[in-house]
Structure 1
């Protein structure tokens, strides 16, 4: 591990003494590790203080608050000339460790390098390590975007978390714990919405039992209070879908529509037929997927194509999409949040 050192002439006595040392043994998470202490001291006033307070070279220095892996990743960060873009889970975890520990030990330049690499990877929008990361990594990256006040990247990560909850790639129970607004010193609204989507994902998983009136608290990862929220959402979303099925969204007729009443009637009966005859392979409470599938079926429906003017049909389909977007934005209200 080699880092060029500035002249020691203008350094403080503590700094000169620290840099003059070579190797010291550190105890990290019950593991002994021999480290080039001069590199640590050159990059961190915190380490200079730690080393000066533990002057006996034969006595190991005990570090608290980090694991062996995290400390090893910090040392790796000091060795590399440039911070690479993360390409898998291991890469992402390594750079997150470097960012967090370098901030903890006041290694400003290293912290900026790691932070910049992470923000660039998130901004890329297609980085595989970001798109496939676990919940804990998402939370760690969100904290970085909040600290640097980057609303664009914050929103991207929140949308990614929401999407992966609905695709069942991320655990809904863990999301319910970690998305609660009380865990964040930030505007609660984005986290309330995320919490709603986490409860929604939990409700969809539990729907087979809920629809049969079976107990869902047995062997559940959720607390009783959380299960109450799931039940609230279940009954609210069933009623919401019944309203959609019984009253098709109104739309604006085009000026060339010769028979608006018949046009609306065709639209209405087609939605009712699809909604009430088990043509949509998702439970009633899964309004997001049901609306998406309903839109797909109606967009290709030959009966509508034949009996509705193209502009009217497009307008009606847009109203259906608006219902889905509105549900995505307000789903937390269904769970009494």
Structure 2
């Protein structure tokens, strides 16, 4: 038994092919291979030249002074770290505009963790350029991409990037191109009120038929009971708002040149009552879409063109747009946020 045990190779003499953990070699070719260290991330080992890492990061300077082998790093995946190392040792760095955003995100996340300033700047500039490009990838990106970009923007405290991603996400959500639930979860976690209340709004419009029929809205939903309670608050509040609007249109100011303002008001109220009383394809709680429809429909109304002065008619239509903007800006009140 002793002889058999002595014939086994010692653990440190295992070859790469015998080791269950694969080794990835990313080496600075300007120096000899003796000047290397082993870094382990998850189930993967990376054989790297420490000089560049130490030069670019004070955190790595401290970490790589350790005599441990391998040096174990955590807080990111092996895939993220591999993307980071590929950028660290790239000579020269490619234009960040040509690197896919998912890869740039991995590099930015790891670079931030280890305070690797040159790659922090390079990766974030590339991300912002691609996010704000006319043909931005966010036109077709899934919800997961928006979630990752929001988190990255918050980690970097980049207000402009966060705002840009949120607005593009909301556009996709309002067009019903993406589900609102992931945005609710993320916005609630990071206190992004504008994103949160508009995501709640679209979610409410989607589930309002269930509420009308008395069906549960939490089936297969990622929302918590508290979040679903906010949905119900929005339902009752917005429904009440639309009923108020049905009874009286938004008030408008008299045009300076109008001499028959009473006639303008009578015509406006009459046409408003007629149009709001018609059946609509929009949910009763979809006040924003209903108001937009009313604005466009009444703008083309021939009766109003005959019965109202041009100035008063413009004021009345502007009043609808202002009311819509007011509701949009104050959705948090409707959802009790």
Distance 1:66 1:54 in 2: 22
Residue from 35, 39, 44 that aligns with 1:31: 44
Distance 2:49 2:167 in 1: 43
**1:287 alignment partner in structure 2:** 287
Distance 2:32 2:313 in 1: 75
In the superposition, the TM-score normalised over structure 1's length comes to 0.80
**1:15 alignment partner in structure 2:** none
**1:69 alignment partner in structure 2:** 79
Distance 1:125 1:251 in 2: 40
1:172 aligns with 2:180: yes
**1:225 alignment partner in structure 2:** 226
Deviation at 1:325, TM superposition (A): 0.4
Superposition RMSD in Å: 2.8
Alignment of 1:1-337 (within 5 A): 21-54=34-67, 59-78=69-88, 79=90, 81-82=92-93, 84-86=95-97, 91-122=100-131, 124=132, 126-133=134-141, 134-143=145-154, 147-148=157-158, 150=159, 152-180=160-188, 183-184=189-190, 191-278=192-279, 280-337=280-337
1:168-193 residue CA offsets vs partner (Å, 9 max, x unmatched)? 3343222222112xx44xxx6xx223
Deviation at 1:77, TM superposition (A): 2.1
Distance 2:291 2:96 in 1: 38
Distance 1:259 1:275 in 2: 25
Deviation at 1:223, TM superposition (A): 1.9
Deviation at 1:36, TM superposition (A): 4.2
Deviation at 1:237, TM superposition (A): 0.5
Distance 2:32 2:286 in 1: 62
In the superposition, the TM-score normalised over structure 2's length comes to 0.80
1:86-125 residue CA offsets vs partner (Å, 9 max, x unmatched)? 57xx811211221221121121122122223334444x45
Deviation at 1:48, TM superposition (A): 3.6
Contact 2:44 2:78 in 1 (8 A): yes
1:117 match: secondary structure? helix
Q: Which runs of 5+ in 1 are unaligned?
A: 6-17
Contact 1:241 1:284 in 2 (8 A): yes
**2:10 alignment partner in structure 1:** none
- Change beyond 3 A, Cα 1:315–1:81: farther
Q: Which runs of 5+ in 2 are unaligned?
A: 1-25
Which range moved further: 127-136 or 283-292? 127-136
- Change beyond 3 A, Cα 1:311–1:19: farther
Which range moved further: 193-202 or 287-296? 193-202
Distance 1:282 1:212 in 2: 16
1:266-304 residue CA offsets vs partner (Å, 9 max, x unmatched)? 2112222221111x4211101111111111111222222
Contact 1:175 1:195 in 2 (8 A): yes
Distance 1:223 1:253 in 2: 48
- Change beyond 3 A, Cα 1:240–1:86: farther
Distance 1:2 1:98 in 2: 18
2:134 match: secondary structure? coil
Contact 1:166 1:201 in 2 (8 A): yes
1:206-249 residue CA offsets vs partner (Å, 9 max, x unmatched)? 11111112222333322222211111110111110111121011
- Change beyond 3 A, Cα 1:330–1:302: same
Distance 1:125 1:287 in 2: 32
- Change beyond 3 A, Cα 1:85–1:328: farther
1:52 match: secondary structure? coil
Deviation at 1:252, TM superposition (A): 1.7
